[in-house]
Structure 1
Amino acid sequence: MNPNNASIQPVIEGLGYTQHGTGPECVLVLHDWLGDHTSYDSVIPYLDGAMFTYVFADLRGYGKSFHITGNYTVQEIAADCLKLADSLGWQHFHLMGHSMTGMAVQRIAADAPSRIKSVVAVCPISAAGNQMNDEALNFFASTGESDDNFRRLIKYVSGGLSDQWANAKLRQNRETVAPACRLGYLNMLTKTNFVNDVRGLEMPYLIVIAERDPGLDEDAMKNTFLAWYPNAELLTIPNCGHYPMQECPPYFATIIEKFLHSQIRIRR
């Protein structure tokens, strides 16, 4: 799908991506574990392409980077994203990550703090990782093969949305996520911890959580992001689950760009 005003870019040497807008403020946007850049398709018509240049990147094994294999580590993600920013000619830019890549944007910010203007972390996994017991880990791993378990997971994190919604997310996953990368990134999510590298980073952070997203709640954010980052603020989206960019796209675009505009005004 190619929403209005979105230009599909060819795969460069490195990560594939889709670009929207040609504005002076550059924003690198990353996706979650279960889907590629197309998770943001619904929000693109509501974004300000005159002020911002959004690049929606696909990690190795996803979407336009489906064919690229790797070690599937957070360090690899950060290196790939910084290489992409270099290829785009971006010296300084904003970051946005969702769920799994809420962790990745923290790694990028730690590796290149002088380049990052601000960070938006949406329903994010922290730099401490998402530690699970064996039963939960086995269930998450099973979603790569079991359609029923995949649907169960989607409905759980989305606050019980419809079967049609779960089926749509299943189709997206099966069509855009390479089987080889799924367990690698799950291992990254559950076993990575780089908290000591991010404590005290001073760039502005907007932490977005959703009222109906279990586990990633206000208390979890207070004990992680808000405790580590001196310039972090928290915003909760009401009546929404783990995919606010798909569940309430106009509102999601509004709150993201309100934050980004505030950072532009501060710098001026």
Structure 2
Amino acid sequence: MKVPLEVPLEIRRGSDAGLGYVRYGNGPICVLVLHDWLGDHSSYDAVMPWLDGHACTYVFADLRGYGLSIELDGEFTVEEIAADCLLLADRLCWSRFHIVGHSMTGMITQRVAANATSRVISAIAVCPVSAAGNRLSPDALAFFSSTIENDDALRRLFGYVSGGLSDTWTEGKTRQNRVTVSSACRRPYLDMLVTADFVDDIRGLETPYLVVVGEKDPGIDADAMRRTFLAWHPNAELQVIPNCGHYPMQECPPYFATVIERFLKRTTS
């Protein structure tokens, strides 16, 4: 069942003024939401009907090369993404806000929080890659690189990280990727993922953090989070979502909405 949207929805395309985005809700709690390497803002479509748009204002931003920002070129670096996020917050007239990042953009929550400590109220990192990057073995890097053009490889990747969801689901995710992600940005963002290292800049950052992982996510598990986010951030807490892989916002949307909004409302008050 999909609940009809009963709160404002605004769509803005990317331009010289900055990133494109979808804004949902009109509440006082301002939340900037970022997507992963393999999909744009539409990865959150399934969770949107379950969010409290009267308490929160969510802005689902598309990075350069994705979705509503697919025509925006750039350097595709951590620093550029963080600057784009803060520029977007300025455009929205948000003096303070929460930030959510998924997978690749888990590290971006750390960069933004470090760059604008007084503005970031709290951060949520979902199945995140950290400020230490994702140091892939040569074979793993070759496989990830192959998914940039090879649909079969991309289907295998989606099937693997989702904990064994159906072929129909992986096919849908593959179609979404090919339509919403520019070919020009895929390799540079992958390079960013595997080479990033700014742990010294974020170690000890006191921003409240919720780190969310799926029980069935094979690559990013609770132990990895204890070695990274929970080790570096003194105000971090961990939530493991049962029977879920790398895409909790799509695999269990009502539960995911409940988990993040409990944290957002608690850290705002």
Per-residue CA deviations over 1:137-158 (Å, capped at 9, x if unaligned) read 1110110111000000000000
1:252 matches 2:259: no
Residue identity in the other structure for 1:8: E
RMSD, aligned α-carbons: 0.9
User: C-alpha displacement at 1:261, in angstroms?
Assistant: 1.1
Match of 1:140 in 2: 144
Q: Which of 105, 113, 119 pairs up with 1:115?
A: 119
Superposition pairs for residues 114-193 of structure 1, below 5 Å? Answer: 114-193=118-197
> What is the 5 A alignment of 1:54-73?
54-73=58-77
Confirm or deny: 8 A CA contact 1:6 1:44 kept in the other structure: no
Tell me which of 177, 185, 207 is aligned to 1:203. Answer: 207
- Aligned-partner Cα distance in 1 for 2:213–2:108: 17
1:31/1:37 contact within 8 Å kept: yes
Please give the TM-score of this superposition, normalised by the length of structure 1.
Answer: 0.97
Q: CA deviation at 1:6?
A: 5.3
Rounded Cα–Cα distance in structure 2 between residues aligned with 1:242 and 1:81: 23
Q: Secondary structure at the match of 1:42?
A: coil
Q: Which residue of 2 aligns with 1:10?
A: 12
Distance in 2 (CA, whole Å) between partners of 1:45 and 1:129 is 32
Aligned AA (1:253): A
Q: What secondary structure is seen at the aligned counterpart in 1 of 2:76?
A: coil
Percent of residue pairs bearing the same amino acid type: 63
Q: Show the counterpart of 2:105.
A: 101
Structure 2: stretches of 5+ with no match in the other structure: none
Aligned length: 263
Give the partner amino acid of 2:209.
Y
Q: In the alignment, does 2:55 pair up with 1:33?
A: no
Name 1:224's counterpart in structure 2: 228
**Structure 1 position 219, deviation (Å):** 1.1
Stretches (4+) displaced over 3 A: none
User: What letter corresponds to residue 116 of structure 1 in structure 2?
Assistant: V
**Structure 1: stretches of 5+ with no match in the other structure:** none
| In 2, Cα distance between equivalents of 1:6 and 1:156 | 36
Deviation, structure 1 residue 264: 2.1
Aligned counterparts of 2:12 and 2:207: Cα–Cα separation in 1 = 31
Q: Is the 8 A contact 2:8 2:26 kept in 1?
A: no
| Partner SS, residue 114 of structure 1 | coil
TM-score of the pair, normalised by structure 2 = 0.96
CA contact (8 A) 1:6 1:18 kept: no
For the residue of structure 1 that corresponds to 2:94, the secondary structure is coil
Cα distance in 1 between the residues matched to 2:160 and 2:12: 36
Distance in 1 separating the partners of 2:222 and 2:42:
27
Residues 13-55 of structure 1, C-alpha deviations (whole Å, 9 max, x = no match): 1100000001111000000000000000000001111110000
* Aligned equivalent of 1:43, options 30, 43, 47: 47
Question: Which residue identity is paired with 2:47?
Answer: V
* 3-state secondary structure, aligned to 2:193: helix
CA distance in 1, matches of 2:179, 2:230: 36
Between the aligned partners of 2:225 and 2:26, the Cα distance in structure 1 is: 33
